[in-house]
């Protein structure tokens, strides 16, 4: 006879209960456990790998690894932290295989200098309006994706985890195994660079502009 | 306390994170009231964060969930991955135990 389960009153308790049941053989519950984190896993993989197809494959592999190794999850960290760490490891392995990071060292010791933070905005276009409804348009999303892709890897990965996936600064630092100071510095630069790229295009209002033509944008 | 534009840019991210001390915050806010350029940088940076932070900006690729669930179904025989993918699994039953 199983012990009487008290109704889970927090997300974390519910998650622990799910994990225990999956470990106990109810593997059909794994999809429920993963559901809230699917996007986060994918975006983490995408942060580290520029290629969407690679990111998708690595993210799926990470989810499968989490299933296979669920017995090893000790509950010392949050499940999401553990899952993201698996994803980062998978993505790093893929990077090493592809030698994609040959010229971008993973260690950030050299980034600690002030030069990293020393970025001045290039443009002061007055971009006050947030064209939120524009996000419904794939053309607009493409512009955001291209702007993001134009950032250097170390800026892109920090920005994706912090500002797209809403991880905390500390979680981002842990996931990428870099210092909190480096996260802050890179985040500042990533945000300012994206603003520099996007502000001139959006300053007059996206819908008010003539259609984007190739060659008319900074990317 | 007077602050330069360069100093404002250095701190703008921390400002938006709520990680500057009250005195610096007040100084920056006074600067924003006077400086159009820094206000433009602040507004634009806020917009960047708001746009990319919106779930619609970056969606899961179509078929992502079905993809890993079918891979799991092929690797791990046993209970269904979820009720939702019952249809999918029906097509994989014959291969469920294969490696």
Q: For residue range B67-81, list pLDDT tens digits in order.
A: 999 988 887 654 344
Q: Give B10 to chain A, closest Cα distance, Å.
A: 7
- CA B59 to chain A, closest CA, distance in angstroms equals 7
Q: Does B81 touch chain A (CB under 8 A)?
A: yes
Q: Is residue B99 part of a domain?
A: no
The answer on pLDDT for B28 being more than 90 is: yes
The answer to whether B48 faces chain A, any CB pair under 8 Å, is yes
Asked if the structure places residue B98 within a domain, the reply is: no
| CA dihedral for A190, A196, A201, A202, sign (positive or negative) | positive
Residues B14 and B46 in one domain: yes
pLDDT at residue A10, as a whole number: 67
Give the pLDDT confidence score for residue B65 in this predicted structure.
94
Q: Are residues B20 and B52 in the same domain?
A: yes
Query: Is residue B49 located within the same domain as residue B72?
Result: no
State whether B51 and B71 are in the same domain: no
Residue B87 included in any domain: yes
Same domain, residue pair B52 and B17: yes
State whether B30 and B73 are in the same domain. no
Domains belonging to chain A, first-starting first, are 13-98 (1.10.1740.10), 123-208 (1.10.10.10)
Position B87 confidence tier, pLDDT thresholds 50, 70, 90:
very low
> Would you place residue B21 in the very low, low, confident or very high pLDDT band (cuts 50, 70, 90)?
very high
User: How many structural domains does chain B have?
Assistant: 2
Is residue B25 domain-shared with residue B46, that is, in the same domain? Answer: yes
Nearest-CB residue to A27 (from B9, B76, B84): B76
- Whether residues B31 and B71 share a domain: the answer is no
Q: Tokens for A50?
A: 């520029």
Residue B33 lies in a domain: yes
Which pLDDT band holds residue B5 (cuts at 50, 70, 90)?
very high
* Whether residues B25 and B48 fall in one domain: yes
Residues B11 and B43 in one domain: yes
**Is B53 found in the same domain as B10?**
yes
Task: List Cβ<8 Å contacts ≥24 apart for A114-117.
Answer: A116/A185, A116/A186, A116/A189, A117/A185, A117/A188, A117/A189, A117/B10
In-domain check, residue B15: yes
Question: Which pLDDT belongs to residue A122?
Answer: 76
Q: Which residues of A touch B41 (CB under 8 A)?
A: 121, 124, 192, 195
Classify residue B25: in a domain, yes or no. Answer: yes
The pLDDT assigned to A102 comes to 54
For residues B40 and A61, give the distance between their C-alpha atoms in angstroms, rounded to a whole number: 43
Same domain for B53 and B12 = yes
Q: What is the pLDDT of residue A87?
A: 94
pLDDT in tens, A166-178: 999 999 999 899 9
Which residues from chain B sit within 8 angstroms of residue A117, using beta carbons?
10
Interface residue B24 vs chain A (CB under 8 A): no
The share of chain B scoring above pLDDT 90, in percent, equals: 61
Decide if A135 contacts A141 (C-beta within 8 A).
yes
Instruction: Please say if the pLDDT value at position B59 is more than 60.
Output: yes
Structural domain contains residue B30: yes
In a domain, B84, yes or no: yes
Mean pLDDT by 10 residues, chain A (219 residues): 49 88 91 93 88 92 94 87 92 82 48 60 72 78 87 92 93 93 96 91 58 38
**What is the ipTM, given to two decimal places?**
0.72
> Is residue A172 within a helix (H) or strand (E), and if so which, with residue range?
helix A169-176
Interchain pair A127, B51: CB under 8 A: no
Domain coverage including residue B69: 64-93
């Amino acid at each position: 006879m199983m012990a009487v389960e008290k109704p889970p009153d927090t997300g974390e308790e519910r998650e622990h209960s799910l994990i225990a049941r999956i470990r106990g053989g109810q593997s059909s519950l794994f999809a429920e456990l993963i559901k809230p984190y699917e996007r986060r896993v994918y975006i983490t993989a995408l942060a580290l790998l520029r290629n969407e197809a690679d990111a998708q494959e690595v993210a799926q592999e990470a989810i499968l690894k989490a299933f296979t190794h669920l017995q090893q999850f000790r509950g010392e960290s949050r499940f999401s932290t553990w899952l993201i760490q698996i994803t980062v490891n998978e993505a790093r392995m893929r990077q090493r295989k592809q030698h994609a990071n040959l010229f971008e060292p993973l260690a950030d010791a050299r980034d600690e200098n002030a030069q990293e933070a020393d970025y001045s905005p290039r443009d002061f276009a007055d971009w006050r309006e947030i064209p939120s409804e524009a996000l419904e348009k794939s053309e607009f999303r493409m512009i955001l994706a291209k702007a993001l892709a134009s950032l250097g890897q170390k800026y892109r990965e920090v920005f994706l985890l912090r500002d797209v996936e809403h991880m905390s600064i500390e979680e981002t630092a842990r996931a990428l195994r870099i210092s909190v100071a480096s996260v802050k510095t890179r985040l500042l630069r990533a945000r300012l660079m994206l603003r520099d790229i996007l502000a001139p295009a959006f300053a007059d209002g996206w819908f008010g502009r003539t259609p984007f033509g190739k060659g008319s944008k900074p990317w | 306390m007077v602050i330069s534009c360069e100093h404002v840019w250095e701190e703008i991210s921390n400002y938006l994170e709520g990680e500057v001390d009250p005195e610096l915050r007040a100084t920056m806010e006074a600067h924003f009231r006077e400086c159009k350029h820094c206000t433009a940088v602040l507004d634009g940076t806020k917009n960047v964060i708001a746009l990319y932070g919106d779930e619609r900006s970056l969606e899961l690729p179509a078929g992502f969930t079905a993809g890993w669930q079918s891979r799991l179904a092929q690797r791990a025989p046993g209970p269904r991955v979820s009720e939702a993918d019952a249809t999918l699994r029906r097509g994989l039953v014959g291969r469920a135990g294969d490696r």
